[in-house]
Amino acid sequence: MKYALVTGSSRGIGKAIAIRLAKMGYPVLINYLKNKEAAEEVVATIIANGGQAELMPFNAADGKAIEAALDAWESAHPDDYIAVLVNNAGIRKDNVLFMMSDEEWHEVLDTTLNGYFYLTRRLLKHMMPRRRGGRIVNMASLSGVKGLAGQSNYSAAKAALIGATKALAQEVAPRQITVNAVAPGFIETDMTKDLPQEELKKLVPVGRFGTAEEVAAAVAFLVSDEAAYITGEVININGGLYT
Ligand code: NAP
């Protein structure tokens, strides 16, 4: 069976993507860091809607934890492989650069960028043999396309992810693997709940924050068979805020 793995799918955008991919027929691996209860609810929702899902907890910033989780899954699933990877886990630790601590810099880079590196390298082992093909979608951000004040760490991580997307797309295209990114603007999730939404939505031409489901719809398209000729691309999902 062909599985999909969505990092950070206990909440927010990752949860909406997991639910959407399950509706497309993929058994989905629900990854999280701390929030087991929320992750179990996502599994229950998918199963209640006739889909398949199981938990796969690991810290996306920890290469050894990723290896251990994948080794265990492969032993339990000798005839299955992971054909879809959505590198979605991410955190914000905003600060102006001159005040930014080592921890704020490294934690954001480690989660987004090192997480991408460790997990994608590991899962190419599933996608590359016998030209089985695959789909990789990376969760970038408006912050990585435009740069946002107070987010040097986050903008750097997301911009690097876009560069990594374009490089890998060219490496693996002959193996029928596509690698794309989506770059959301302001999306209503826990990550943005501390932001002044009333003020910020005035900046958005569409006049509102986006929904996690609107991001999931673009990811579902990139994962679909119809998107086989789209690779190395970044889809902006920002209500016209910046293109
Ligand atoms: P969120 O609501 O804060 O959810 C974050 C998710 O990532 C949770 O499932 C969390 O797991 C998981 N996570 C965090 N660190 C992790 C780690 N080290 N290992 C594994 N899982 C980890 O965030 P969101 O708004 O849905 O954002 C999802 C992605 O979209 C992020 O990459 C973010 O940068 C990007 N993005 C968001 C927006 C926005 O406006 N919301 C805009 C542009 C881009 P736990 O539940 O266990 O904590």
In this structure, is residue 130 part of a structural domain? yes
Tokens of 176: 């029928």
What's the CA-to-centroid distance between 119 and ligand 1, angstroms? 16
Distance CA 127, CA 168 (A): 13
Q: Could you tell me the pTM of the whole model?
A: 0.98
11 lines ligand 1 (CB under 6 A): yes
145 lines ligand 1 (CB under 6 A): no
E-strand stretches of the chain: 2-6, 28-30, 53-55, 81-87, 134-139, 177-184, 234-237
Q: Tell me how many degrees the CA angle 129-132-135 measures, rounded to the nearest 5.
A: 110
Provide the number of structural domains found in the chain. 1
Q: Which atom of ligand 1 is nearest to the CA of 112?
A: 32
What is the predicted pLDDT for the residue at 11? Answer: 98
Closest-CA residue, ligand 1 atom 34, reads: 90
38 lines ligand 1 (CB under 6 A): yes
Residues designated as active site: 154
Averaged over successive runs of 10 residues, the pLDDT of the chain (243 residues) comes to: 97 98 98 98 98 98 98 96 97 98 98 98 91 93 97 98 98 97 98 96 98 98 98 98 86
In this structure, is residue 40 part of a structural domain? yes
In this structure, is residue 195 part of a structural domain? no
91 lines ligand 1 (CB under 6 A): yes
Please report which helix (H) or strand (E) contains residue 59, including its range: none
CATH code at position 26: 3.40.50.720
Domain that holds residue 62: 2-186+212-237
Q: What type of residue sits at position 221?
A: F
